[in-house]
Amino acid sequence: MSEMASTMLGRSAISEAYSGPIASVLQKYYILQPDGNIKQTRLTLDPGPPPVFEDTPGPIMSPEVIERLAALDPSPSKQLFDWIIYAAGGGERARKDSAGALEHAKTCIINNRMAGKGGDGQEITPMTQKEAEEDWKANHEAAFTIYYYHGDQDLADDPHFQCFGWHRNWPGRDGVYALIEEVVPKWLALSKDKKFLREYNKFFPAAKFQLTMYNEAGQPRFKGIEELKEYVSNAKAMIAKRRAEQNIVTVGRTPEGGYTRGGAKDILWSDQYVTVIVPLTAGASLAKGFMDWCVSNKTRWETYFRTRATDQLSWKHYTDSGPFAFISWNKVKPSDGYLEQIAAHVQYGGDPEDPAEIQYWDKENTRKISEEEIARRLDDELRPSFGQAVDEINNWFRQFQREHLEQCPALESLALAKMLAQSLIEDIQPIDVMARGRG
């Protein structure tokens, strides 16, 4: 390992004037020299051997890049610009690589001193380990810390330790500058949207929307631009998810015996033994169904909103072929515990005057079961109520229209993407999902 830290730090400068908070941020990251000029570095043109460097040094970060990134922060304090430079340098992941590189340098230098090798390879009197460690701390640690924690393009692209540092030109290492320019304005727009903030903070009072990039201890709230991107992307989806969970619509009955759209407490039919609930929204299915059923599973619901995985859209997948009715028992439970809750999936098609085709799922949730099998497995006391429940489901289904049932567009769909681009999600239809089994 070459001991070049001191020479790498003292470059000739170009005359680019910066002042105020912007200068303070650039000096904090050693991009700006104490004399007010951008630090110069000579980049590798060919790694060799022998390596070939630029004939003349250039800025560690071009003035054009600095100005473009600084323009993203309209505030006087430029605290956001501070975080932008941190993210542009690679964030926490790159700082961990810098720590690794620094430790490697320390080990090499201490070993060299103990082996009788000086800084330029000259022979010296071998040092004890204690002497070598003191030499490292007194003569090398500070310079190497600055070197590895505020690197140029070569260090940022090092194959062993991709250190915290900056590419000279746009779009930056792995396009990080361009990603910052894309994501930061979205975060800023949300942070200034009073309507969005009011709703978000109402839904999540214990984890309100973050309005600053650093916490009270001065540590970054977001460890890199990818983390901020995910936070911004998830923010409105989280509101959509919470709205979906609160949008519980079921089939109710009118005083005249007809059917109507009801709320969380409405039921299709009930007697002393059985209760039938028909969910018309994904939120109702999530709230009223058995958690292992695909249309009621909370795990897949959470996974969908976290990952946008379209294979989690079980509510739409199943209701495309027909609505559900959930059958549960009141005080007297079946001796067959798997029949304590039954999902009746009513299928579209057939003669409206004939009984509908219904596919049934019990709590075991491993296969479709027939109406006859359920009747056979039920206790004698409960069997008549089950038959009446099926009749009530068929009576309701004869007047059912598909538009009564909520549809669930994918979060990635064009229509919903346009909604997400607005300042606040309005009237998003909830998306529900299920976990194990086939139904």
pLDDT tens for 242-261 read 888 888 999 999 999 899 99
Asked whether residue 400 is domain-assigned, the answer is yes
Asked whether residue 382 is domain-assigned, the answer is yes
The pLDDT, as a whole number, for residue 438 is 34
Q: Residue 91 has which token pair?
A: 């964030």
The pLDDT, as a whole number, for residue 373 is 97
Q: Residue 386 has which token pair?
A: 């089950």
Q: Specify the range with the lowest mean pLDDT, choosing from 267-271, 323-327, 432-436.
A: 432-436
Number of structural domains in the chain: 2
Residue that terminates a domain, selected from 136, 165, 194: 165
The pLDDT, as a whole number, for residue 167 is 98
- In the chain, the percentage of residues whose pLDDT exceeds 90 is 72
On whether both 257 and 396 belong to a single domain, the answer is yes
Gap between the Cα atoms of 73 and 81, Å rounded: 6
Asked whether residue 193 is domain-assigned, the answer is no
User: β-strands 341-346, 358-361: how paired?
Assistant: antiparallel
Q: How confident is the model at residue 17 (pLDDT cuts 50, 70, 90)?
A: low
The pLDDT, as a whole number, for residue 439 is 43
Q: Domain range holding 158?
A: 5-60+90-165
On whether both 132 and 20 belong to a single domain, the answer is yes
Structure letter (DSSP) for residue 409:
-
On whether both 161 and 307 belong to a single domain, the answer is no
Q: Average pLDDT for residues 101-130, to the nearest whole number?
A: 94
On whether both 276 and 383 belong to a single domain, the answer is yes
- In the chain, the percentage of residues whose pLDDT exceeds 70 is 87
Residue that terminates a domain, selected from 132, 165, 198: 165
On whether both 273 and 131 belong to a single domain, the answer is no
The pLDDT, as a whole number, for residue 358 is 95
Q: Average pLDDT for residues 330-342, to the nearest whole number?
A: 96
Q: How confident is the model at residue 349 (pLDDT cuts 50, 70, 90)?
A: confident
On whether both 141 and 265 belong to a single domain, the answer is no
Asked whether residue 174 is domain-assigned, the answer is no
Q: How confident is the model at residue 430 (pLDDT cuts 50, 70, 90)?
A: very low
Q: Average pLDDT for residues 220-227, to the nearest whole number?
A: 98
Q: How confident is the model at residue 310 (pLDDT cuts 50, 70, 90)?
A: low
Q: Residue 308 has which token pair?
A: 């946008």
Q: How confident is the model at residue 301 (pLDDT cuts 50, 70, 90)?
A: confident
Asked whether residue 30 is domain-assigned, the answer is yes
Asked whether residue 327 is domain-assigned, the answer is yes
Q: How confident is the model at residue 402 (pLDDT cuts 50, 70, 90)?
A: confident
Gap between the Cα atoms of 435 and 129, Å rounded: 59
On whether both 14 and 139 belong to a single domain, the answer is yes
On whether both 405 and 261 belong to a single domain, the answer is yes
Query: Contacts by 414-417 with C-beta closer than 8 Å and gap 24+?
Result: none
Question: In the chain, what is the straight-line distance between the N-terminal and C-terminal CA atoms, in Å?
Answer: 62
On whether both 267 and 141 belong to a single domain, the answer is no
Asked whether residue 205 is domain-assigned, the answer is no
**Is residue 99 pLDDT above 50, yes or no?**
yes
pLDDT, mean over the chain: 87
Q: How confident is the model at residue 307 (pLDDT cuts 50, 70, 90)?
A: confident
Type and span of the H or E element at 22: helix 20-28
- 32-55 tens-digit pLDDT: 999 999 999 999 999 889 999 999
Gap between the Cα atoms of 248 and 265, Å rounded: 9
| DSSP line for 54-79 | -SS-EESS-HHHHHHHHTT--SSS-H
Gap between the Cα atoms of 91 and 163, Å rounded: 10
Q: Average pLDDT for residues 168-178, to the nearest whole number?
A: 98
Q: Is the separation of the CB atoms in 195 and 424 below 8 Å? A: yes
Asked whether residue 232 is domain-assigned, the answer is no
Residue identified by tokens 């260090």 is: 155
Structure letter (DSSP) for residue 139:
H
The pLDDT, as a whole number, for residue 104 is 97
On whether both 134 and 268 belong to a single domain, the answer is no
Measured CA distances, 70 to 50, 82, 118, 321, 356 (Å): 38, 9, 43, 54, 65
On whether both 272 and 143 belong to a single domain, the answer is no
On whether both 155 and 257 belong to a single domain, the answer is no
**Quick check: helix, strand or coil at residue 342?**
strand
CA 124 to chain centre: 55
The pLDDT, as a whole number, for residue 250 is 96
Beta strands per DSSP E along 54-194:
58-59
Query: Rounded to two decimals, what is the model's pTM?
Result: 0.69
Residue that terminates a domain, selected from 141, 165, 189: 165
